[in-house]
């Protein structure tokens, strides 16, 4: 911790220095003079564009870039007022950026292969190449050689509201111009970017080493309920273990209670420091007593380290605020910039779902199925997982026989698309742009960034082939690859390639994954399956929307109290978690003052990311509803060629309505008729 604090202090001092230099160099008076000169040269027709372009370029121009006279000269020489010339400039930029992003992406893919793929021998340089980011200096370079300034000057930035409202009447080409205006919307010094990755990776490390030896944990009767060597990471491992005990009717509940008590000790930071990642001590989380062999020892609490990391993440994020003139807080950057939905918009949707009568009905159903009153940790109830009609062994056997290796799976991909209604020609084309590789981890999909490159589909392929789990993940990733390929090749121009945000690509991945059996010719004979799935997803949305609200309110509080200490932050996060619980969960669960919603590790290592998960599910339900009785292939081709527009606009054009919680609520109503 000590060296960390020191690094942060040095960093804050150096930020002070940058601060002084960055005092607005070009003043309003200078701008007015430049507008006049541009008006003389180009007339008033292009006034909107040059006033906007000049003022936005001025936001980033510093003394080191040139004098005020240099800036004026730069604007006069480089502003393109003629529409045809502007279109030519756009085409040149399209071509060059596709080459640039495409090739840098290829380098990243290649350098990370020994880390991502199985079957690579390891060498001493793999980690360094894997950690190298070829994009790291791009922003710096392009401001230094002034390409960034030329782009800002001619293709200005539009705010989220402008994109939403004016964007309705934009052509795909107009959208391309606007997306080009997003490319250089910040000029963060690389020193700060480097520090940001350092601090995030320190937080990552803290969580990665936060294991609890559950075998050493015992309850008030002195009983050890878990296997001796069971060590689990917070919060994922602990949560999944808790979930797995719903099946155990005899001891499940006491095990779950014990795990939840461990979690509460972590959230409140009353956990003894000595039991974290330590296989040698035993601990009773109820009394908080710690033992070495049979002897009780003094053990100090962790003392707010969890919140110190969060505070460090907040401070580094806040330190780069001033380099984003259009997105001045981390909250803005996560919602308005990355997700392109305002925080209020997201919050309103989450509250609508959390306050719905369906939460009550599903909670009642869970209570009935469990045969007991709900506990706080039943936010993780997993009894709605669809069971299917085939056993795990049967599924493994079937899939292994179909796909004994990578090549058989690759050959099969176009057949899957044809089953979904893609023409043979389109199916063959899309699949010619996808390469299948055996991954070391669970699996992922890595898209290409230029049309001459391929998307990568990674899943587990063992020595005997692909088992059902590997196949199920591979189908999810294939859904991503199909989105990546359509939204790169079939869009109007390069700068609108992709989808509005990551939740949209998840939606298509879910649509594919849900049909995994159908795609290998197994008809689903369990009519209740889709209803179970709806309830399962709904309940996980309830949980994660609650967690997301805690995440959002915590960041709002930190911005309102930038000098808070870790002790204060600890108190506050607990307070916020309990407030959210008491408002939305307590009336349904019948228990008050539970801090459980603050346990997520994402809050520490990837702040404000969590909202993307439930949004992905909302889109999925809307997409599914729209796809009913339609040819999936045709619709997917049309929808994912819309390009990266404003999310609500995309939804309007894709499925004819705004993003909303209604389709998922309707599916829950439907499911409740069948599942008792």
Give the 3-state secondary structure of residue 87. Answer: helix
Write the CA distances from 378 to 283, 367, 369, 533, 648, integer angstroms: 24, 9, 12, 17, 33
Cβ proximity to Zn ion, 509 vs 534, nearer residue: 509
Binding span for Zn ion by CB under 5 A among 73-81, 308-316, 402-410, 503-511:
503-511
The per-residue b/e assignment along 324-352, b for 16 or more CB within 10 angstroms, e otherwise, is: bbbbebbbbbbbbbebbbbbebbbebbee
Site for Zn ion in 36-55 (CB under 5 A): none
Nearer to Zn ion, 474 or 520 (CB): 474
Q: Which is nearer to Zn ion, 175 or 510 (CB)?
A: 510
Least distance from Zn ion to the Cβ atom of residue 18, Å: 38
Contact assessment for residue 519 and residue 416, using Cβ atoms and an 8 Å cutoff: yes
Least distance between Zn ion and beta carbon 482 (Å): 12
Binding mask 451-490 for Zn ion (x = CB under 5 A): ----------------------------------------
Q: Which residue has the tokens 């649509």?
A: 511
Which position's Cβ is nearest Zn ion? 509
Whichever of 42 and 444 has its CB closer to Zn ion, that residue is 444
Footprint on residues 504-543 left by Zn ion (CB under 5 A): 506, 509
Task: Please report, as residue ranges, which positions from 156 to 195 form the binding site for Zn ion (by CB under 5 A).
Answer: none
Question: Shortest approach of Zn ion to residue 492 CB, angstroms?
Answer: 26
Closest contact distance (angstroms) between CB of 505 and Zn ion is 7
109 or 509: CB nearest Zn ion: 509
Footprint (CB under 5 A) of Zn ion, residues 338-357: none
b/e per residue 123-136 (b: at least 16 CB within 10 A)? eeebeebeeeeeee
Q: Which lies closer to Zn ion via its Cβ, residue 616 or residue 663? A: 616
Rank residues 1 and 442 by Cβ distance to Zn ion and give the closer one. 442
Cis peptide bond upstream of 94, omega within 30: no
**Closest distance between Zn ion and the C-beta of residue 445, in Å?**
7
Query: Which residue number, 232 or 544, has a Cβ lying nearer to Zn ion?
Result: 544
Per DSSP, helices labelled H in 381-528 are: 392-402, 406-419, 424-432, 468-489, 502-514, 516-519
Going by their DSSP bridges, the two strands 443-446 and 455-459 should be labelled as: antiparallel
524 membership: H or E segment, kind and range: none
Phi-psi label, residue 465: left if phi above 0, alpha if psi -120 to 50, beta otherwise: left
> Would you count residue 547 as binding Zn ion (CB under 5 A)?
no
Binding residue count for Zn ion, defined by CB under 5 A: 2
How far, in Å, CA of 447 to CA of 456, rounded? 6
Cβ nearer to Zn ion, comparing 68 with 339? 339
Q: How far is the CB of 480 from Zn ion (least distance, A)?
A: 6
Nearer to Zn ion among residue 207 and residue 509 (C-beta)? 509
Q: In the bound complex, what is the minimum distance in angstroms from residue 476's beta carbon to Zn ion?
A: 6
Listed ranges 8-16, 396-404, 501-509, 533-541: which one lies at the site for Zn ion (CB under 5 A): 501-509
CA angle (101 as vertex; 448, 612 as ends), nearest 5 = 65
Please report where in the chains the tokens 């290998």 appear, as a residue. Answer: 520
- CA 311-60-155 angle, 5° bins: 115
User: Smallest gap, in angstroms, from Cβ of residue 593 to Zn ion?
Assistant: 35
Cβ partners under 8 Å of residue 201, min gap 6: none
CB 469 within 8 A of CB 505: no
Least distance from Zn ion to the Cβ atom of residue 77, Å = 46
Beta strands in 56-98 (DSSP E): none
Between CA 480 and CA 504 the distance in angstroms is 10
Q: How far is the CB of 510 from Zn ion (least distance, A)?
A: 8
Minimum Å distance from CB 456 to Zn ion? 14
Span interacting with Zn ion, options 272-280, 321-329, 331-339, 499-507, rule CB under 5 A: 499-507
Q: Which is nearer to Zn ion, 594 or 620 (CB)?
A: 620
Q: Which is nearer to Zn ion, 378 or 483 (CB)?
A: 483
Phi-psi category of residue 523: left, alpha or beta, with phi > 0 → left and psi -120 to 50 → alpha: beta
The residues in 194-253 that bind Zn ion, with binding defined as CB under 5 A, are none
In our burial notation (b when 16+ CB lie closer than 10 A, e otherwise), range 611-650 reads bbbbbbbbbbbbbbebbeeeebbebbbebbbbbbbbbbbb
Q: Is the separation of the CB atoms in 601 and 578 below 8 Å?
A: no
Residue range at the interface with Zn ion (CB under 5 A); choices 26-34, 464-472, 498-506, 667-675: 498-506
Q: How far is the CB of 479 from Zn ion (least distance, A)?
A: 8
Q: How far is CA 94 from the centre of its chain?
A: 27
> What is the contact surface with Zn ion in residues (CB under 5 A)?
506, 509
């Amino acid at each position: 911790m000590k060296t960390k604090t020191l690094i942060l202090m040095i960093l804050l001092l150096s930020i002070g220095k940058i601060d002084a230099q960055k005092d607005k160099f070009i003043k309003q008076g200078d701008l007015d003079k430049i507008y006049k000169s541009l008006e003389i040269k180009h007339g008033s027709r292009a006034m909107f564009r040059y006033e906007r372009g000049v003022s936005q370029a001025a936001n980033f121009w510093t003394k080191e870039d040139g004098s005020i006279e240099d800036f004026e000269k730069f604007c006069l020489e480089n502003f393109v007022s003629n529409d045809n010339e502007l279109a030519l400039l756009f085409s040149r930029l399209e071509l060059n950026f596709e080459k640039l992003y495409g090739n840098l992406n290829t380098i990243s893919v290649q350098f990370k292969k020994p880390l991502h793929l199985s079957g690579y021998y390891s060498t001493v340089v793999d980690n360094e190449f894997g950690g190298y980011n070829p994009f790291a200096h791009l922003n710096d370079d392009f401001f230094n050689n002034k390409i960034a300034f030329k782009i800002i000057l001619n293709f200005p930035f539009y705010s989220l509201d402008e994109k939403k409202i004016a964007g309705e009447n934009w052509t795909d080409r107009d959208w391309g111009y606007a997306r080009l205006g997003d490319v250089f919307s910040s000029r963060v010094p690389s020193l700060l970017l480097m520090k940001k990755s350092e601090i995030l990776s320190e937080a990552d490390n803290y969580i990665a080493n936060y294991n609890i030896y559950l075998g050493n944990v015992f309850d008030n009767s002195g009983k050890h309920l878990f296997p001796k060597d069971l060590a689990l990471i917070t919060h994922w491992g602990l949560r999944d273990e808790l979930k797995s005990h719903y099946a155990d009717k005899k001891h499940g509940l006491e095990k779950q209670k014990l795990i939840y008590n461990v979690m509460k000790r972590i959230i409140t930071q009353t956990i003894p420091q000595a039991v974290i990642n330590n296989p040698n001590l035993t601990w009773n989380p109820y009394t908080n007593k710690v033992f070495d062999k049979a002897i009780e020892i003094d053990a100090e609490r962790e003392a707010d380290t969890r919140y110190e990391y969060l505070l460090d993440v907040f401070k580094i994020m806040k330190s780069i605020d001033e380099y984003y003139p259009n997105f001045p807080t981390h909250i803005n950057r996560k919602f308005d910039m990355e997700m392109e939905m305002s925080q209020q918009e997201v919050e309103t949707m989450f509250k609508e779902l959390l306050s719905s009568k369906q939460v009550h009905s599903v909670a009642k159903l869970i209570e009935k199925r469990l045969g007991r009153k709900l506990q706080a940790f039943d936010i993780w109830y997993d009894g709605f997982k669809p069971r299917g009609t085939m056993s795990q062994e049967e599924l493994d056997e079937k899939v292994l026989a179909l796909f004994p290796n990578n090549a058989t799976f690759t050959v099969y991909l176009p057949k899957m698309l044809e089953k979904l209604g893609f023409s043979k020609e389109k199916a063959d084309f899309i699949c010619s742009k996808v390469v299948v590789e055996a991954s070391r981890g669970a699996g992922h999909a890595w898209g290409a960034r230029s049309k001459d490159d391929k998307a990568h589909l990674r899943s587990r392929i063992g020595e005997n082939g692909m088992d059902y789990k590997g196949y199920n993940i591979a189908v999810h990733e294939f859904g991503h690859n199909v989105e990546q390929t359509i939204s790169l090749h079939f869009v109007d121009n390069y700068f609108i390639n992709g989808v509005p945000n990551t939740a949209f690509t998840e939606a298509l991945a879910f649509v594919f994954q849900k049909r995994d059996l159908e795609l290998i010719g197994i008809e689903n004979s369990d009519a209740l399956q889709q209803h179970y799935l709806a309830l399962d997803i709904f309940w996980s949305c309830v949980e994660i929307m609650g967690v997301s609200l805690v995440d959002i309110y915590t960041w709002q509080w930190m911005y309102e109290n930038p000098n808070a200490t870790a002790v204060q932050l600890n108190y506050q996060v607990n307070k916020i978690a309990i407030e959210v619980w008491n408002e939305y969960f307590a009336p349904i669960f019948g228990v008050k003052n539970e801090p459980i919603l603050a346990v997520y590790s994402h809050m520490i290592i990837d702040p404000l990311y969590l909202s993307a998960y439930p949004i992905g599910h909302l889109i999925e339900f809307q997409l599914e509803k729209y796809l009913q009785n339609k040819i999936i292939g045709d619709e997917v081709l049309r929808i994912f060629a819309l390009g990266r527009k404003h999310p609500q606009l995309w939804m309007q054009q894709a499925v004819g309505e705004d993003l909303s919680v209604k389709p998922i609520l309707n599916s829950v109503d439907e499911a409740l008729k069948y599942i008792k």
